[in-house]
Amino acid sequence: MVDTLATDVSDARERIKAAASRVFSTKGLDGARMQDIADEARINKAMLHYYFRNKQQLFEMIFEELLTRVFSALEALVADHASFEDRIRAFVSTQITIISEFPAMPLFVLLEARKDPELLSRKFVGKPLDMVRQRFSDMVDREVSSGRIRPVTFDQLFINILSLSVYPVVAEPMIRFVLGMESGAFQSMIENRKTLVADLIIRDLNPFSI
Amino acid sequence: MVDTLATDVSDARERIKAAASRVFSTKGLDGARMQDIADEARINKAMLHYYFRNKQQLFEMIFEELLTRVFSALEALVADHASFEDRIRAFVSTQITIISEFPAMPLFVLLEARKDPELLSRKFVGKPLDMVRQRFSDMVDREVSSGRIRPVTFDQLFINILSLSVYPVVAEPMIRFVLGMESGAFQSMIENRKTLVADLIIRDLNPFSI
DNA sequence: AAGAGTATCAACCATCTGGTTAAACTGTTT
DNA sequence: AAACAGTTTAACCAGATGGTTGATACTCTT
């Protein structure tokens, strides 16, 4: 019981963050009770305030870490030296995987971003967003002008990829209800989409299509 | 001030519902304060409880009316006698229009549906969901077997249409931030999508594509 | 004009919840 | 072993919030 201290310490912090992620993402910022998070992390409620000053700060920490993760997936879209097609395939697959881990996260991120419009800019300071956007934009333009893909605006392409990847995971309850799917069927459907969505996007970019 | 009673009565109810829609959809169920809704409706807080027993019932009323609206758009997808292509175009356009009116609605619908899994089935009783699904499914199968569209599962087609229509509107804050768009640019981008998404879907269904 | 039903309001209340505090416990340093 | 710093806990508190109440006003009917 000597060398466990250090790990215990970070353990508590990490347990809190993991617990907060779960609770926030299912109940939203306002719906989440500090007591819920404490229970989920198996600690005393006062410990939350010991490690994180208050609910808002705890929330912003979770929020920021999530953004960082999503952002790094974005960077993968422009960073490596694979073909355009392979990058899209990788991005779609990564995006679906990340979102599937906490399917309700985009819901509460977007809800909070609507409530507090400054939140995003506050949390994105220091992240090279402009650079990534520029790189992706250039990449698309290059593909277009070389005739490898048909003319598309980078904005709409980006939005299409994101929509097709993220929304189905987020909308699980509605989709399962409307389509009458069991949990297993839904999951394999999502798994299929990792290639299906990329196929659709790439097919759509084919300059000789139709 | 004589004949205004009847209208005032329904007026109060309607004002409350409209106000609750706005407040719920921007702040979520838990984030919305009864006082906020009262202020927004320009009435006394006690009036909320006069017209609606409690917060939950007010919420469920709003929720149900929204579902009904979305559902009737669904029915338009299978009801009229236009061509398959025209129906898809009409559905995409309608869907985007409806969602644009209360862009955060899907967020809180989905968040609440996750918190309370029975909510959807509770609110969908009596609505001919199975019939609509069957009709749409048959329609797709008919198009496929006649060779007018390439083989697709109706599930994935439905999900694709929904994702491409709904998500961009919902994700406005994130999209505008990441792509550096002003409000005006965003709105015209969404407007463009009414045809752009339908084009994409229809192009994708072309059996001779690629 | 009296009565009934409806609508409106200010004040009030019980409870929940985020946050605090002061004390106790743990391992480390001196 | 005593002082020390970091960690954990139970008990507590102030403010916010959903909901209630009892009185008052309005409108229509008779």
Query: B111-170 pLDDT, tens per residue?
Result: 899 988 889 999 888 888 888 889 889 999 999 999 999 999 999 999 999 999 999 999
Which residue among B113, B156, B180 sits closest to A173, beta carbon to beta carbon? B113
Q: Which domains does chain A have, with CATH numbers?
A: 1-52 (1.10.10.60), 59-205 (1.10.357.10)
Report the distance from CA of residue A183 to the C1' of nucleotide C14 in Å, as an integer.
41
Cβ contact (<8 Å) for B114 and A107?
A: yes
Rg over alpha carbons for chain A, rounded to the nearest Å, is: 20
* Minimum-distance nucleotide, CA of B56 to C1': D18
Which residue among A108, A120, A206 sits closest to B111, beta carbon to beta carbon? A108
Chain B nearest-CA residue for A113:
B173
Measured in angstroms, the CA of B107 and the nearest CA of chain A are apart by 6
Cβ contact (<8 Å) for B178 and A114?
A: no
Q: Which long-range contacts (CB under 8 A, 24 or more apart) does B4-9 make?
A: none
A49 vs A10, higher pLDDT: A49
| Interchain contact B138–A (C-beta under 8 A) | no
Measured in angstroms, the CA of B1 and the nearest CA of chain A are apart by 39
For the residues of chain A, what is the DSSP string, one character each?
--THHHHHHHHHHHHHHHHHHHHHHHHHHHH--HHHHHHHHTS-HHHHHHHSSSHHHHHHHHHHHHHHHHHHHHHHHHHS-S-HHHHHHHHHHHHHHHHHHSTTHHHHHHHHHHH-THHHHHHHTTS-HHHHHHHHHHHHHHHHHTTSS----HHHHHHHHHHHHHHHHHTHHHHHHHHT--HHHHHHHHHHHHHHHHHHHHHHH-TT--
Q: Which of A132, A134, A174, A186 to probe the B interface (max B CBs under 10 A)?
A: A174
From its phi and psi, is residue A186 left (phi > 0), alpha (psi between -120 and 50) or beta?
Answer: alpha
Query: Which chain A positions have a beta carbon within 8 Å of B29's beta carbon?
Result: 31
pLDDT at A3: 33
pLDDT at A100: 93
* pLDDT tens, residue by residue, A57-105: 999 999 898 888 888 878 777 776 788 999 999 999 999 998 998 898 8
3-state per-residue secondary structure call for B144-164: HHCCCCCCCCHHHHHHHHHHH
If you measure CA to C1', which residue is closest to nucleotide C7?
Answer: B9
Cβ contact (<8 Å) for B129 and A171?
A: no
Query: Which chain B positions have a beta carbon within 8 Å of A209's beta carbon?
Result: 203, 206, 209-210
Chain A nearest-CA residue for B127:
A178
Measured in angstroms, the CA of A83 and the nearest CA of chain B are apart by 20
pLDDT at B10: 62
Chain A nearest-CA residue for B105:
A111
Report the distance from CA of residue A55 to the C1' of nucleotide C19 in Å, as an integer.
9
Separation of alpha carbons B145 and B136, rounded Å: 14
* Minimum-distance nucleotide, CA of B4 to C1': D27
Positions of chain B with pLDDT under 50:
1-9
* pLDDT tens, residue by residue, A141-197: 999 999 999 999 999 999 999 999 999 999 999 999 999 999 999 999 999 999 999
Query: Which chain A positions have a beta carbon within 8 Å of B129's beta carbon?
Result: 178
Which bases along strand D come within 7 Å of a protein CB atom? 6-11, 16-22, 26-28
| Of residues A105, A100, A73, A102, the one with CA closest to residue A191 | A100
Q: Please say if the pLDDT value at position A209 is more than 80.
A: no
User: Which residues neighbour strand D (beta carbon < 7 Å)?
Assistant: A 8-9, 12, 43-47, 50; B 1-6, 32-35, 45-46, 49, 53-56
Instruction: Residue window 87-126, chain A: list those with CB within 8 Å of chain B.
Output: 104, 106-111, 113-115, 117, 120-121, 124
Q: Please say if the pLDDT value at position A6 is more than 50.
A: no
Confidence of residue A10 (pLDDT cuts 50, 70, 90): low
Residue type, B63: F
pLDDT at A105: 86
Separation of alpha carbons A184 and A147, rounded Å: 41
* pLDDT tens, residue by residue, A143-159: 999 999 999 999 999 99
Instruction: Residue window 20-79, chain B: list those with CB within 8 Å of chain A.
Output: 26-31
Residue with tokens 């997808």: B77
